[in-house]
Amino acid sequence: MSAPVKENPVNKYLRMERMPSIWCPGCGIGTTVNCFARALDESKIPLDNLAVVSGIGCTGRVAGYLNVDSFHTTHGRAIPFATGLQLARPDLKVVVYSGDGDLSAIGGNHFIHAARRNADLLVVMVNNFTYGMTGGQVTPTTFRPAIASTTPYGAFEQTFNMPMLADSCGAVYVARWTAYHVKQLAKSMAEAINKRGFRFIEIAAPCPTLYLRRNKLGEGLDEMKFYKEKSVIRNGVDTREVALDYRKEITVGKFVDRERPTLEDAMDQRYKEALGAKYVPYVSPGAAKSQA
Amino acid sequence: MSNANSSGTLTGSHYLDGDHACSEGAIAAGCRFAAGYPITPSTEVVERLAQRFPFVGGRFLQFEDELAASIALLGGAWGGAKACTVTSGPGFSLMMEHIGLAAITETPCVFFNVQRAGPSTGLPTQPAQGDMMQARFGSHGDYRLIALCPNSPQECFDLTVDAFNMAEEFRVPVLVMLDEVVGHMTEKVVIPDDAEIKVTERRWTKKPPGEFKLFAPAEGSLVPEMVKPGDGYRIHVTGLTHDERGYPKMTVPEHEKMQMRLWNKIVLNADKIVKYEAKDLDDAEVVVVSYGITSRIAERAMQQARAQGVKVGSFRLITAWPFPEKEILQLSKKVKAFVVPELNLGQMVLEVQRIVEGRTKVVPVPHVGGTVHDPQVITNAIVGAVR
């Protein structure tokens, strides 16, 4: 019995020659990438106009698997790299794709400022509640009292509510989903990619090898069942009410969707007002293709 | 600045300090993207860029810290712009990781470091030349880059143009290593017409997607050509050890291949890169090796020594890295001594000693920084070296 095999529609968005990925079986990162590929399909944005920037860590490898112009930068600094790239190339859509350790710990300052200045970036944060690449250490999103290799007796710090942080700094789009919500996540990504300004999507995702195993929470599939059971969709809810807690209800949905001038718009507007006709606007090097 | 010509270049004679001359050099070289963070004594460079860029189609943003500024710079450079960042001491330390990223990803870009006395916060408003070894070795791992040392505002302009050109020619970060005195001293700076300013454009490939490899050296060269995102090449750029396509390839042979090309593209091109100024070397018994503001002080010392009958010549480093090994080696075979004054406790003198290998005397003239040498101290070292 050999039914004709149709090519997976997401393949063209991936560097198939680089498969298999480094991600463990049951890891949620690949699921989010699948959603991202479907979002690209749905949003119809020209792939040549898309650049993806990652930091370091398991999610930091996403950029390298996507079949677009991609940049794998330093730990925590994907956002300022992307801000520089976007300012130099306003004709590109720039997406930052990284993990909770990368974006909320070492890169936390850049996250705050990019949201404040409304840098024209979509920031996708896969939150697996641990540093996977280095062996499962505590992150600013690890719940009390979860076990991590550097909190062997349980985490004891308050966690970041990242949607609230993004919202309070001025992000124009804030959503949270889990790796279980593949349809909603893909739709949210497609919606966010076509918006301008600082957009933030957090995705709770299983790390079976480290976080789940150390905390005796089962396999990746068990965590997906947990997400299904515990998630409550509350679109438009105040982000002060969406903090996560250990094994408690997970508030998901689109929390913020508003308009605000982007960094680039505000910069141009100020120069126009201050300098009038003397202002010489920046011309993107993208106007001339590399092949002269 | 209303007399800038249509390209933005401020052609004419000006009275500028070194920091501002760097800004004008950047504009003349075609830099239209800058990312910065304020730090004394370098801030004037970005202040002038912030003021000038809106008139010349440039984009400047002040970032939240030097980590952000030094990688936003790389984002801008990969976007296709000629880009720079500016800092001093503590900021330079923070930028080290991205100097390494620029080296491994072969990103053309320029870093200005207006040196002040350290370590740590040190003497924020006072000069030193204490970052010379950090410029060479500061980021982790083995890599090579280019570092230049202007000794006047005029040279700040000239070497800034050279820095941008060499960054493009060798796809490498270039460091312009001022010191506080050169950055803040005001002198005449002549900015030529655009036609007289040699500007190296980015080496865009003519190969189509599929044939072009972002990290494969161009034919007859050790340096790869470039493309921009958005041109359909679907490039990947990573700080991991990578193959010629840019894909991570973490094997020893691949690491060696990548590392050795990054190394050789600078080392084997040293003759094209190295610049120095030689004076009175023909009959010299003693050669003063100096750079930056110290070379200006050493001139006075050399006059005093000659008045005392010492045949002294000058070898001024314009390129600190790569170090002019060949030239120092040749000199070491015919002179009695090298005298090396610098505003640190002995950095570039280590290079002189390494090359000389004990063939002749090498006399360090260290200074903790905070001010310049008393010329008499250098004079005494010159005279003492042969008596």
C-alpha A204/C-alpha A248 separation (Å) is 13
pLDDT of residue B218: 97
Contacts of A53 in chain B (CB under 8 A): 75
Distance in angstroms (rounded) separating the CA atoms of residues B214 and B227: 7
Q: Are B266 and B273 in contact (CB under 8 A)?
A: yes
**pLDDT average, residue stretch A47-69:** 97
- Strand-pairing partners, residue A71, are A53, B237
CA separation for the pair B365, B335 (Å, rounded): 18
**Test the A interface: residue of B78, B96, B211, B242 with most A CBs within 10 Å:** B78
Residue with tokens 């949270």: A176
Residues of A in contact with B214 (CB under 8 A): none
Compute the nearest-CA separation of A53 from chain B (Å): 9
pLDDT, one tens digit per residue, over B272-296 is 999 999 999 999 999 999 999 999 9
Give the chain B residue nearest A278 (alpha carbons).
B55
What is the arithmetic mean of pLDDT over B237-246?
98
CA distance A103 to chain B (A): 13
Could you count the other beta carbons within 10 Å of the beta carbon of residue B195?
7
Selecting from B97, B228, B235 the residue whose C-beta is nearest the C-beta of A286 gives: B228
Q: pLDDT over 70 for what percent of chain A?
A: 98
Residues of chain B positioned with their CB less than 8 A from the CB of A67: 234
CB contact under 8 A, B75 and A82: yes
Average per-residue pLDDT for chain B: 97
Q: What is the model's pLDDT at position A287?
A: 85
Q: In A, which residues are within 8 Å of B65 by CB distance?
A: 109
Nearest to B26 by CA among B108, B83, B80, B107: B83
Strand, helix or coil at A66? strand
State how far Cα B244 lies from the chain centre.
27
- Read off the amino acid at residue B300: R
The answer to whether the Cβ–Cβ distance between A92 and B59 falls below 8 Å is no
d(CA A98, nearest CA chain B) in Å: 14
> Which chain A residue lies closest to B232 (C-alpha atoms)?
A48
**Predicted ipTM?**
0.97
pLDDT for residue A120: 98
Q: What is A16-53 written as a DSSP string?
A: GGGPSPSPPTT-SHHHHHHHHHHHHHHHT--GGGEEEE
- Which pLDDT belongs to residue A6? 86
Going along chain B from its start, the domains and CATH numbers come out as 12-196 (3.40.50.970), 277-386 (3.40.50.920)
Interatomic CA distance for residues B204 and B191, integer angstroms: 28
Q: Do B234 and A68 touch (CB under 8 A)?
A: yes
Q: What angle do CA B181, B185, B190 make, to 5 degrees?
A: 130
C-beta atoms of A83 and B67 within 8 A = no
pLDDT range class, residue A210, cuts 50, 70, 90: very high
pLDDT at B1: 53
Query: Mind telling me how many Å the CA of A285 is from chain B's nearest CA?
Result: 6
User: Which of A72, A83, A275 is nearest residue B54 as measured by Cβ atoms?
Assistant: A275
Q: How far apart are CA A125 and CA A127, in angstroms?
A: 6
Question: Where does the pLDDT of residue A290 fall: very low under 50, low under 70, confident under 90, or very high at 90 and above?
Answer: low
| Contact state of A70 with B235 under an 8 Å Cβ cutoff | yes
d(CA A130, CA A28): 13
Distances (CA, A) of A288 to A173, A270, A292, B227: 32, 27, 8, 11
Q: Is the peptide bond before A20 cis (omega within 30 degrees of 0)?
A: yes
The full set of domain ranges for chain A reads 20-281
Local confidence band at B114 (pLDDT 50, 70, 90 cut-offs)? very high
- What pLDDT is stored for residue A1 in this prediction? 58
Contact status, residue A82 vs residue A91, Cβ threshold 8 Å: no
Instruction: State the average pLDDT over residues B367-381.
Output: 98
CA closest to A286 among chain B residues: B230
Residues in chain A with CB shorter than 8 Å from the CB of B27 are: none
Distance from CA of A92 to the nearest CA of B (A): 7
B71–A290 C-beta distance less than 8 A: no
Residues 231-290 of A with CB under 8 A from B: 263, 267, 271, 274-275, 278-286, 289-290
Q: What is the pLDDT at residue B258?
A: 98
Of the candidates B59, B68, B206, the beta carbon closest to that of A80 is on B68
Total beta-carbon pairs less than 8 A apart between chain A and chain B? 174
| CATH architecture for residues A20-281 | 3-Layer(aba) Sandwich (3.40)
Q: Do B55 and A91 touch (CB under 8 A)?
A: no
pLDDT band at A70 (very low <50, low <70, confident <90, very high): very high
Identify the helix (H) or strand (E) that includes residue B326.
Answer: helix B325-332
Per-residue pLDDT at A180: 98
Cβ neighbours of residue A248 under 8 Å, at least 6 residues apart?
A230
pLDDT in tens, B22-75: 999 999 999 999 999 999 999 999 999 999 999 999 999 999 999 999 999 999
Facing A283 at nearest CB: one of B57, B78, B83: B57
Asked whether the predicted pLDDT for residue B370 surpasses 50, the reply is yes
CA distance B127 to chain A (A): 30
**Residues A108-145 pLDDT 10s:** 999 999 999 999 999 999 999 999 999 999 999 999 99
Query: What pLDDT, on a 0 to 100 scale, did the predictor assign at position B6?
Result: 80
Residue by residue, DSSP assigns B217-282 as: PPTTSSS--B--TTSS---EEESS-B-TTS-B--SHHHHHHHHHHHHHHHHTTHHHH--EEEES-T
A23 min Cα distance to partner chain B (Å): 15
A77, A88, A274 ranked by CB distance to B81: nearest: A88
Q: At B7, list the tokens.
A: 């390209």
Gap from B35 CA to chain A (nearest CA, Å)? 8
Q: Which of B79, B208, B247 sits opposite A285 (nearest CB)?
A: B79
* pLDDT recorded at residue A292: 45
What is the average pLDDT score of chain A? 96
The model's pLDDT over B135-149, given as tens digits with 9 standing for 90+, comes to 999 999 999 999 999
Predicted local confidence at residue B50, as pLDDT: 98
Please give the average per-residue pLDDT across A243-255, as a whole number: 97
Number of other CB atoms surrounding residue B115 within 10 Å: 31
Residues 13-52 of A with CB under 8 A from B: 15, 18, 47-49, 51
Residue A71, φ and ψ in degrees, nearest 5:
-135, 125
Instruction: Return the beta strands (E) in chain B as ranges.
Output: 12-17, 31-36, 59-62, 82-87, 109-117, 123-127, 146-148, 173-179, 186-191, 236-238, 276-279, 286-290, 312-317, 319-321, 337-342, 361-366
Tokens, residue B159:
């070497």
Task: Over range A61-88, report the average pLDDT.
Answer: 98
Angstrom distance (rounded) from CA A63 to CA B306: 63
Residue range A156-180: mean pLDDT, rounded? 98
Contacts of B26 (CB under 8 A, 6+ apart): B34, B49, B84, B110, B160, B164
CB–CB of B336/B385 below 8 Å? yes
Q: Which of B59, B67, B231 sits opposite A88 (nearest CB)?
A: B59
Mean pLDDT of B91-109: 98
- Predicted confidence (pLDDT) at residue A291 exceeds the cutoff of 60: no
Closest CA of chain B from A65, distance in Å: 9
How big is chain B, counted in residues? 387
Asked if A62 has any chain B CB less than 8 Å from its own CB, the reply is no
Task: Please calculate the CA angle A269-B35-A264 and round it to the nearest 5 degrees.
Answer: 25
